[in-house]
Amino acid sequence: MKNTENIMNNDMDDDNPGSALPSLGPNVPAPPAASGVSNGPDYPGSSEDIRQVQGSMADSESASVNDSRSRSASRFVLAVITVAVLVALMVAVVLVPLPAWLVDSGRAGNAAGAQQVDQTDLTYYCPSRMALSDNGKYGDSAFQATEGNVASSARYAAFGSVYEASVGAVTNGSVADNKKLTGGDTLDSATVKTYSGSADQGSQAFETRLLKAKSGTGAAASVASWASEGDLKGLAASTCVVPALEQDFLLGPTTTGVTQQLSVANFSSKATSLQVQVWSTKHGSPLRLSTGNVVNIGANGEATLELSAAASGAEALFVKVKSKETPIAAVVRSVELEGLNAKGSDYAVPLDAASKKAYLPGIVDGDQVTVYARAEQDTDLNLSWVDAKGASSAKTQRLEAGKVVPIDLGKAPEGVIGLEANAAAPVNVAVKVTQNADSGTDFAYVTPSLAYAQSAVVLPDHTDGTLLLLNSAERETKATLQGYDASGKPAGSKQVTLPSKAGTSIVAKDVGDHAVMFRLKNGKNVSMGMRLTQSDVTNAKLASVAYLGASGLEPRNMKVWSTDNAGIVH
């Protein structure tokens, strides 16, 4: 072995290719020698070959580095593109509604629903006592207008399931000054909460909070004003008005000596702007008012507009008052003078929506009757007297679209209780009734009265009344009148049977000696009103006439429909 190692070392030292290794055995051949390659035991080639290999390896490492850098740049570009696409998708999802085919349809059977919303907070506008629109003193005192010994009263009543009711000033009055209605248990529908006072201190807001909105629960209130001396001689009365975004009136003339003062109240804490439109007997389109068509009214405030100045010289007017922002309540004070002679005064209250049929309880024999009517389209209006036996034709009048038409029916026949109006198209109707006496005249406005399952009317203090009922059904109708005294306790009742299309009149004291508030039950086909008298005026042998319409004791509600729509959820 040593000799062999020596031989191998000598060969390497001599840089000699040397001879082949000795034979390892008879059966193992020696490996052939590659051409130009040393047969050394550890190195495959020459030093030149090694340098070539090393250069190749360096080139490979350089290429690998360049390839790594290229891959990093590609990843960066791809990341930037991905972020941009994601941002674009997010913007599209937020701003663009999803296509219908991408939205789940859901369960159609359960997607829609209805909810009934009841009004449990009621507000009414009760005007102040009658007054002259101009109290200025001009010229000789003997020729100056004067209100005389005018007096007033008001009564407020809350029926049924009432939590609380109060009366306070319209114009920013202190809550501490409000008067609460008393009498009657909150849960006892047999009694009534009530309060009575004067209307001398300005217009009042009557607010009622109900525990539950149901038939027989609600409120009614009224105001009366009277005088036996001065320019307001006679009797005037008004029911309290429910606020609305629009209120309409039919009024008498605006000729010399007549004032028609529109008084509007805003109960909201937000100011509003009113648009006032007026139609006359001559034009089917609104008049251009000399005072302008816009009235601004502040929060919790009142405003007035002199219609006699805005549209003077008219035989009759139809007035539409619209609020842009909040519900408003309005009345019109109408005063008529002829030289030094008082011709009467009254309040005009808003009309209900135009209808093809209207019933006006409140006309009695001896009344001088003038009907004011207006329709949005040409139609014929049929008017009929109603008494205890039924209806009889009074007159048929053609109405031209938009124009107000005064219709003189002359003196009401004996036994008449009211008037029925029928037309092929919806019509607004109001009646002016006038009573004459040796010492002068007085008038009142009578508006259509709706029929309710339950309704109520209340007598102001120091007045008396007669209830007038009209049956609009084609069959006999039975109803019950329940009376209450000034403390709100039951004070008698009366069963009433009304023939088809007929009416009846009932003196208030016939319901109960001390009854001053009246509720009509089972009266879904019965319209109710009341004519008033006042002893001071009657004893002075003056003409006096006033009318109060009934207020419905029915829930005010509406249905709100909702539908699920997944398409609006982004």
pLDDT tens profile 398-446: 999 999 999 999 999 999 999 999 999 999 999 999 999 888 899 999 9
Give tens-digit pLDDT for 317-331.
999 999 988 999 999
Tokens coding 453: 């399952």
Rounded Cα–Cα distance for residues 265 and 330 (Å): 6
The 301-306 sheet, strands edge to edge: 301-306, 258-266, 328-338, 341-348
Strands 328-338 and 258-266: antiparallel
Residue 486 φ/ψ region, left for φ over 0, alpha for ψ in the -120 to 50 degree band, beta for the rest: alpha
Q: How far apart are the first and last CA of the chain?
A: 91
Q: 529 and 67 in contact (C-beta within 8 Å)?
A: no
Mean pLDDT, the chain cut into blocks of 10 residues (570 residues total):
41 41 42 42 48 53 58 79 84 68 55 74 95 69 76 96 92 75 69 93 93 91 96 95 96 95 94 95 92 91 94 96 94 92 95 96 95 97 96 96 97 96 97 90 96 96 97 95 95 95 96 96 94 95 95 84 62
Q: 519 and 482 in contact (C-beta within 8 Å)?
A: yes
Phi/psi of residue 18, each to 5°? 65, 175
What confidence score (pLDDT) does residue 135 get? Answer: 64
Tokens coding 79: 């990341």
- The set of residues, in sequence order, having a beta carbon less than 8 Å from that of 555 and lying 6+ positions away, is 118, 119, 213, 214, 215, 217
- The set of residues, in sequence order, having a beta carbon less than 8 Å from that of 334 and lying 6+ positions away, is 251, 252, 258, 259, 260, 261, 345, 346, 347, 348, 445
Q: 194 and 402 in contact (C-beta within 8 Å)?
A: no
Burial of 309 (0-12, 13-18, 19+ CB in 10 A): middle
DSSP state of 311: T
- For residue 493, the one-letter residue type is S
Burial of 473 (0-12, 13-18, 19+ CB in 10 A): middle
> How many CB atoms neighbour CB 271 within 10 A?
14
What confidence score (pLDDT) does residue 14 get? Answer: 43
* Sign of the alpha-carbon dihedral angle for 350, 356, 359, 360: positive
- The set of residues, in sequence order, having a beta carbon less than 8 Å from that of 557 and lying 6+ positions away, is 116, 117, 118, 119, 213
Rounded Cα–Cα distance for residues 199 and 206 (Å): 12
Rounded Cα–Cα distance for residues 294 and 258 (Å): 22
pTM over 0.75: yes
SS (H, E, C) 106-152: CCHHHCEEEEEEECCEEEEEECCCCCCCCCCCCCCHHHCCCCCCCEE
Of all helices (H) and strands (E), which one includes residue 263? strand 258-266
Nearest to 336 by CA among 414, 412, 236, 245: 236
Tokens coding 187: 């849960």
Of all helices (H) and strands (E), which one includes residue 490? strand 490-498
Let me know how long the chain is.
570
What confidence score (pLDDT) does residue 7 get? Answer: 39
Q: Going along 324-378, which residue ranges are E strands?
A: 328-338, 341-348, 355-361, 368-375
Rounded Cα–Cα distance for residues 248 and 246 (Å): 7
DSSP state of 354: P
What confidence score (pLDDT) does residue 36 get? Answer: 42
Rg (CA), the chain: 48
Rounded Cα–Cα distance for residues 386 and 451 (Å): 16
Q: 476 and 497 in contact (C-beta within 8 Å)?
A: yes
Of all helices (H) and strands (E), which one includes residue 58? helix 47-95
- For residue 419, the one-letter residue type is L
Q: 149 and 233 in contact (C-beta within 8 Å)?
A: no
Q: 337 and 441 in contact (C-beta within 8 Å)?
A: no
Rounded Cα–Cα distance for residues 390 and 388 (Å): 6
Of all helices (H) and strands (E), which one includes residue 51? helix 47-95
What confidence score (pLDDT) does residue 90 get? Answer: 79
